[in-house]
Amino acid sequence: MQKNSIAICANVVAIPARQIFPAEVVIREGKIASVRSVQGAFPHFLIPGFIDAHVHIESSLLVPAQFARLAAVHGTVATVSDPHEIANVMGIEGVRYMIENGATVPFKFYFGVPSCVPATGFETAGDSLHLEHIQALFTIDRLKYLAEMMNYPGVLAGEEEVMAKIRLARQLGKPIDGHAPGLQGEQARRYAAAGITTDHECVSLQEALDKLAAGMKIIIREGSAAKNLDTLAPLLESHWQHVMFCSDDKHPDSLLEGHINQLVARCVAKGIDVFKVLQAACLNPIQHYGLQVGQLRQGDPADFILVENLQSFKVLQTWINGTLVAENGRSLIRAPSAKIINRFAACPLTPEMLQLKALSNKVQAIVAIDGSLITQKAILDATIVDGLAVADPQKDLLKIVVVNRYRPALPAIGFVQGFGISKGALASSVAHDSHNIVAVGTSDELLCQAINAVIAHQGGIAACSSTEQKILPLPVAGLMSADDALAVAHAYQEIDLFAKQLGTSLQAPFMTLSFMALLVIPTLKMSDLGLFDGLNFRFTEVFQ
């Protein structure tokens, strides 16, 4: 053994060859110098590291360096990351912030170029990325792919600006990620034919099969709010070469518990062939996006994990570029202090600004669905007091408010069901995609209190009752904390528990709240400019 070499003996899982054999793996200068079969019985297994094939790091409420500290513990060595959220707030400066912060730690962040900033013309964003910005991020910053093309109606209509971005990516040989909830049949074929290579929005097996038939690869999503693994797992049996895993949006409390390792264990527990599952989790993203991530072969970067067994996939060690970055549930990554960048100009509100004059006795309400980004709509009897339409927690009819955070403006006000809060309010400056302030609550006074708490901290998530208020400040673009990952995760657990004590039964109330303003996902959502019909892509009226 040469000096400065590291040798690890374990059962090596060779995924393409579908073999498991006892071996000595030698690491030298960050690469795998050799993989040599040996005699012996070893208790543990070496596999390539896990890759999250589509994630918005910002949704973890952590800057990239802190995200890496938690993810590495669970065997994640790389992410295919869309910095779309911070781009909507800070433009190209925000994208470069994510790249620079991620580069401070031994973890493989592969950022894409956000394709839709702003996501739509029906909301107020903090910045925009035009074709020249996209070209600069590809050529100067050498980003890997064009991130999710959320404007699928624009693709189907052949809108020039949309198609110009796609043409640029194709000319540069960059993969193009999709975002087409519900698209099937001929529409899915036309969307894929434009050059779209993946989709992570499938909620039914038939939708996924249609998109596979159209030539797209399917990224199975299991995040904090959207959970599609159980529905889509059968794809791994028949289409494992064209499937990947992702979390998309994952809050810090669930990242504390696990990451892609959990999806792998669940799929194997369903009886799905372990080699097929591991190809989706470890290898397919490397091949699709052209990532410089090791595959546990001689000459590769030494990116791999040691797991206890091939059932639980409990991670004992995580290695990235030959550096041990996590061991036995403890992160060994040290993250430097993060600088603060932000764009926040909202003014405090008064309860009177949230009053809504009743224009009829019927309202069109958003219906939130636990575990889904998709909402429904309902026409309900309004509760009217002194000529004002008010929240009525007894029938789970809460007010929803979206406040422009980039300049002083009147709030947009509507109604929502599904949160189940009996007395209180939640507010957040994490509100996909433009990240204005979104809030739901049982009274104008409590709504105002929660919203003003977010404004006072220039970003954060807040919850309040008539007697108590909690806030987790998010000073980095109003999306992320600059604090230690564990501290943020525990603070989030505390405010999440408080939100549930207000009566909500949602698994992830703040994550669900953040998607109430996501206009590109049907059916009914709320913009800072008004109630929005995501099926017909137009504004609609609250009163019916």
Which tens digits make up the pLDDT trace of 35-47? 999 998 999 999 9
Chain CA centroid to CA 416, Å: 23
Whether a cis peptide bond, with omega within 30° of 0, leads into 433 is yes
DSSP state of 64: H
Per-residue pLDDT of the chain (544 residues; tens, 9 = 90+): 566 899 999 999 999 999 999 999 999 999 999 999 999 899 999 999 999 999 999 999 999 999 999 999 999 999 999 999 999 999 999 999 999 999 999 999 999 999 999 988 999 999 999 999 999 999 999 999 999 999 998 999 999 999 999 999 999 999 999 999 999 999 999 999 999 999 999 999 999 999 999 999 999 999 988 899 999 999 999 999 999 999 999 999 999 999 999 999 999 999 999 999 999 999 999 999 999 999 999 999 999 999 999 999 999 999 999 999 999 999 999 999 999 999 999 999 999 999 999 999 999 999 999 988 899 999 999 999 999 999 999 999 999 999 999 999 999 999 999 999 999 999 999 999 999 999 999 999 999 999 999 999 999 999 999 999 999 999 999 999 999 999 999 999 999 999 999 999 899 999 999 999 999 889 999 999 999 999 999 999 999 9
Instruction: Spell out the domain ranges in the chain.
Output: 50-291, 351-539
Q: What is the pLDDT of residues 133-158, one digit of tens each?
A: 999 999 999 999 999 999 998 999 99
Check if the beta carbon of residue 101 is closer than 8 Å to that of residue 63: yes
Both tokens of residue 340?
């603060």
Q: Where are the alpha helices (DSSP H) in 272-422?
A: 274-278, 284-289
Buried b (16+ CB within 10 A) or exposed e, 331-347: bebebeebeebbbbebe
Provide CATH code, domain 50-291.
Answer: 3.20.20.140
